[in-house]
């Protein structure tokens, strides 16, 4: 039997990473957030003080702490303070309403909650709806407002107190994060991530993503999502890179920050890259320091990829594909592959094995559509308090992503669609991604979303919502004429709507469910049943 001392000597948890980086680079700039600039030694001390403050308030290993906030210095501190204690952090989407947050509080059994001042009213309503009384109540005063009754200022936790490292044994597969999925089809599921899941994923990001301690990175996408928190911010801490935290992905703020801080590295989903390209300051801002660009969350339109490479010729690009249950990285398309493999999600990352299977779990041959499944230490421990969903997702010893894809003989993956987004029209399957790529090739298109709506004749009708570039004029007939020569008849959009914008969540993903609901009546308005 391994002794306790040996186990402790071998510990390598997420909470240990910051301390070890602070030992290597104590005086290096770790985090910039607003006017605050802290070194790694200062960051580590702040995290230790916060961990002791949480422990003094009764939180211990295995307890859950909900965190409802935009990106901030305090968010970064709490991410590592909870990890050092073995407390399970429950990041909450700040776009949710009180009832949705109440479900997460009840389901997770949260023993406390930390909220940003601007969201305190929502937090109070959620706590009341969940019937949660007592426990830790932390207040992040981003606007300078004094804490409401029953809440205490988080800044007192990290500014003063014991800055020694808490001595807590955290095993490789002790859960440290409970990430709630977006819940597009039902109630959100709580994805359990451990140090083994996360650190294995960090290593894949570092090696295949070309990351280093010399990076200076902007973190503007929500840290409640594991893409920004765990593909980028936590990896930067692991390496000893410098992180610039922004509260939101405002294009003007991102551009100004890149110029001011000499940023070398930036992650954005395609929608945010598009917003940067369209911003009037793009061509007049000094972006010469930028060397590495990353995209993910949704496929990058090939036309936008070409524009990025033309307007940022010195920036290498990586495509990260995955899902929360993979911590979240699964496959990577590397810089030298961007144009020759445009539209591909790349190959399995360093610590991942990826294949495609049919509905019975059997591998499908190259060139055929199948469900994307993975086997990797990145994979989650399962879904919290949901053995049935866990068994379904991990059937056959593989994590089933719910995405459909096609793979080449040499392992390059193309994501066809979500299973639920595949359009079944007139007895044929249509992938929305293929239609979107065709529409993006029309001059003047800024963004497009393709989805299916219920139709009395076609069962589902292919529908496209198109957003023109600033100053461009596009009509529905323009889109119909453009796709007539490029797509088979059954693939062409039956309905085209020109709009000012597409609905998105804070991670930049286009909300197709909302679009389906918004445009569900188009078929009923159609005077021709055959479309």
Strands (E), 74-219: 88-92, 112-116, 136-140, 152-153, 175-180, 190-194, 216-219
The confidence score (pLDDT) of residue 526 equals 67
Give the pLDDT score at 182: 65
pLDDT of 446 over the 70 cut: yes
Q: How confident is the model at residue 30 (pLDDT cuts 50, 70, 90)?
A: very high
CA 86: distance to chain centroid? 23
How many other C-beta atoms are found inside a 10 Å radius of the C-beta of residue 454? Answer: 14
Predicted local distance difference test score (pLDDT) of residue 46: 98
Pure H helices in 1-65: 4-9, 14-24, 40-56
In the predicted model, is pLDDT for residue 185 greater than 60? no
Residue 337 sits in the same domain as residue 377 = yes
- pLDDT tens column, 89-104: 999 999 888 988 999 9
CA-wise closest residue to 354 among 338, 378, 389: 378
Does residue 479 fall inside a structural domain? yes
Q: Is the domain of 296 the same as that of 387?
A: yes
| CATH number of the CATH domain containing 478 | 3.30.300.30
User: What is the chain's mean pLDDT, rounded?
Assistant: 93
Question: Is there a single domain that holds both residue 16 and residue 161?
Answer: yes
Tokens of 12: 């390598």
Residue 528 scores a pLDDT above 80:
no
CATH number for position 240: 3.40.50.12780
Same domain, 447 and 381: no
In a domain, 490, yes or no: yes
- State the residue range of the domain holding 45: 4-20+38-171
pLDDT at 444: 95
Classify residue 188: in a domain, yes or no: no
Of 57-61, 359-363, 525-529, which gets the smallest average pLDDT? Answer: 525-529
pLDDT of residue 113: 98
Structural domain contains residue 182:
no
How many domains does the chain contain in total?
3
CA angle 111, 113, 117 (to 5 degrees): 165
Of the candidates 511, 462, 471, 526, the residue with the CA atom closest to the CA atom of residue 491? 462
Respond yes or no on whether the N-terminal peptide bond of residue 427 is cis (omega within 30° of 0): no
Taking residues 453-464, report their average pLDDT. 86
Res 423: pLDDT: 87
Same domain, 125 and 220: no
Burial level of 431, CB count in 10 A (0-12/13-18/19+)? buried
* pLDDT, position 109: 97
In a domain, 179, yes or no: no
Q: What is the mean pLDDT of residues 65-88?
A: 98
pLDDT of residue 531: 42
Helix and strand numbers (H, E) in the chain are 18, 26
253 burial level (CB within 10 Å; 0-12, 13-18, 19+): middle
Q: pTM of the prediction?
A: 0.84
Q: Is there a single domain that holds both residue 515 and residue 451?
A: yes
Residue 194, CA distances (Å) to 155, 171, 184 in order:
27, 9, 24
Q: Is the pLDDT of residue 389 over 60?
A: yes
Reported as a pLDDT band with limits 50, 70 and 90, residue 318 is very high
Does any domain span residue 28? Answer: no
Please give the pLDDT value at position 213: 98
Q: Which helix (H) or strand (E) holds 309?
A: helix 302-311
Nearest CA among 175, 227, 88, 101 for reference residue 390 = 175
Mean pLDDT of 243-247: 98
Are 401 and 426 part of one and the same domain?
Answer: no
Residue 415 shares a structural domain with residue 426: no
Contact 200, 378 (CB under 8 A): yes
CA distances from 261 to 311, 384, 406 (A): 20, 40, 41
Of 363 and 486, more confident:
363
Output the pLDDT for position 530.
Answer: 45
pLDDT of residue 1: 62
What pLDDT is stored for residue 16 in this prediction? 98
Last residue of a domain, one of 393, 419, 445: 419
Q: What is the pLDDT averaged over residues 207-222?
A: 98
Beta carbons of 34 and 191 less than 8 angstroms apart? no
Angle, nearest 10°, between helix axes 251-261 and 270-278? 80
* Cα 37 to Cα 27: distance, rounded to the nearest angstrom: 11
DSSP H or E stretch at residue 452: strand 445-455
Mean pLDDT is lowest, of 348-357, 393-402, 509-518, for 509-518
pLDDT at residue 485, rounded to an integer: 79
Averaged pLDDT for residues 248-270: 97
Q: Is residue 27 part of a domain?
A: no
Mean pLDDT of all residues in 33-56: 98
Q: Is 211 a member of any domain?
A: yes
* For the chain, percent of residues with pLDDT exceeding 90: 80
Residue (of 267, 273, 333) closest to 301 by Cα position: 273
* Residue ending a domain, choose from 380, 399, 419: 419
Token reading at 499? 């709009």
Residues 481 and 337 in one domain: no
**Mean pLDDT, residues 456-482 taken together:** 92
Q: What is the 3-state secondary structure (H, E, C) of 172-200?
A: CCCEEEEEECCCCCCCCCEEEEEHHHHHH
- Evaluate if residue 313 carries a pLDDT over 50: yes
What is the reported pLDDT for 490?
83
- Tell which of 108, 137, 171 closes a domain: 171
For 429, list phi and psi in degrees, rounded to 5. -90, 130
Is residue 514 located within the same domain as residue 448?
A: yes
Residues 468 and 521 in one domain: yes
Q: Are residues 409 and 446 in the same domain?
A: no
List alpha helices for 383-511, DSSP H: 387-393, 432-440, 476-484
Q: What pLDDT score was predicted for residue 186?
A: 55
pLDDT one-digit tens code per residue, 121-158: 999 999 999 999 889 999 999 998 899 999 999 999 99
């Amino acid at each position: 039997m391994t002794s306790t001392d040996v186990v402790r000597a071998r510990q390598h948890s997420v909470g240990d990473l910051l301390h070890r980086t602070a030992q290597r680079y104590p005086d290096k700039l770790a985090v910039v957030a607003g006017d605050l600039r802290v070194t790694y030694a200062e960051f580590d001390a702040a995290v230790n003080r916060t961990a002791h403050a949480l422990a003094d308030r009764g939180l211990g290993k295995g307890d859950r702490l909900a965190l409802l906030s935009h990106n901030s210095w305090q968010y970064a501190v709490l991410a590592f303070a909870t990890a050092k204690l073995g407390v399970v952090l429950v990041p909450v989407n700040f776009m949710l309403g009180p009832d949705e947050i109440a479900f997460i509080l009840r389901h997770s059994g949260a023993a406390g909650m930390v909220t940003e001042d601007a969201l305190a009213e929502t937090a109070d309503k959620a706590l009341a709806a969940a019937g949660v009384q007592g426990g830790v109540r932390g207040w992040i005063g981003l606007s300078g407002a004094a804490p409401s009754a029953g809440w205490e200022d988080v800044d007192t936790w990290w500014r003063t107190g014991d800055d020694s490292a808490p001595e807590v044994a955290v095993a490789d597969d002790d859960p440290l994060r409970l990430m709630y999925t977006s819940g597009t089809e039902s109630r959100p599921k709580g994805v359990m991530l451990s140090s083994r899941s996360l650190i294995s994923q960090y290593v894949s990001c570092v090696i295949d993503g070309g990351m280093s301690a010399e990076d200076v990175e902007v973190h503007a996408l929500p840290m409640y999502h594991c893409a920004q928190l765990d593909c980028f911010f936590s990896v930067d801490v692991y390496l000893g890179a410098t992180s610039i935290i922004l509260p939101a992905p405002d294009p003007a703020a991102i551009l100004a920050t890149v110029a001011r801080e000499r940023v070398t590295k930036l992650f954005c989903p395609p929608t945010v890259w598009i917003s940067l390209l369209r911003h009037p300051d793009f061509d007049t801002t000094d972006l010469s320091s930028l060397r590495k660009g990353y995209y993910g969350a949704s496929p990058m339109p090939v036309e936008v990829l070409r524009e990025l490479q033309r307007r940022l010729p010195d920036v290498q690009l990586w495509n990260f594909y995955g899902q929360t249950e993979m911590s979240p990285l699964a496959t990577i398309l590397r810089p030298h592959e961007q144009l020759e493999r445009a539209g591909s999600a790349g190959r399995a990352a360093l610590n991942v094995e990826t294949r495609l299977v049919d509905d019975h779990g059997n591998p499908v041959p190259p060139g055929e559509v199948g469900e994307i499944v993975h086997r990797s230490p990145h994979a989650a421990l399962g879904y919290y308090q949901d053995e049935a969903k866990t068994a379904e997702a991990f059937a056959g010893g593989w994590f089933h992503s719910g995405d459909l894809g096609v793979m080449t003989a040499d392992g390059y993956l193309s994501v066809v669609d979500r299973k639920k987004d595949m359009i079944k029209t007139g007895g044929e399957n249509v992938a929305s991604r293929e239609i979107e790529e065709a529409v993006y090739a029309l001059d003047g298109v800024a963004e497009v979303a393709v989805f299916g709506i219920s139709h009395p004749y076609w069962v589902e009708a292919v529908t496209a919502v198109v957003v023109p570039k600033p100053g461009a004029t596009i009509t529905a007939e323009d889109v119909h004429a453009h796709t007539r020569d490029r797509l088979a008849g059954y693939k062409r959009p039956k309905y085209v709507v020109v709009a000012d914008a597409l609905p998105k969540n804070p991670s930049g993903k286009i909300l197709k469910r909302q679009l389906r609901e918004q445009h569900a009546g188009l078929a009923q308005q159609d005077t021709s049943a055959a479309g």
